Structure 1
């Protein structure tokens, strides 16, 4: 957890090996691990420094785009295409440039 806090939630760290078995045999295994105060303080300050209004706006925009994409996907799935001309016309109506998958 200390390493996660040190990197502000990123998970690209190596976990230091604590040799628990060796420490337990010696009787020096701590009951609780401690977090250095500087790591705790900087991790605690990180969310306070974030612009929550901008983050909320970005989330709302992402959610709206996802909803629009779902609606388009459902519409395209329900589309009955009689021939290539119908498909090309439907794509043109949506402003989508068709591609050819012929070899």
Structure 2
């Protein structure tokens, strides 16, 4: 799955694979050191979550850009729906947001 990440360089893929290997080894250690079934189950659950959370750098960038775009759109919607502002104030606020984009 990591190797099929669009726009990821080979270095990014290798770094992500290394991180997965590190998380896998830690999960195995946690399972080995568990003293009850409950601890084993928790170690497995935690290990899976950490492994599944590994992303390539390009995925992090894509997520970050999406968050910025979401924040921008929220502010534009806020300006559009502002009852206390005049249409010229709304237009000015949207212009400033567009300049930041």
Both proteins in one fold, TM over 0.5? no
Q: Which has the larger helix fraction?
A: 2
TM-score (normalizing by structure 1)? 0.36
TM-score calculated relative to the size of structure 2: 0.37
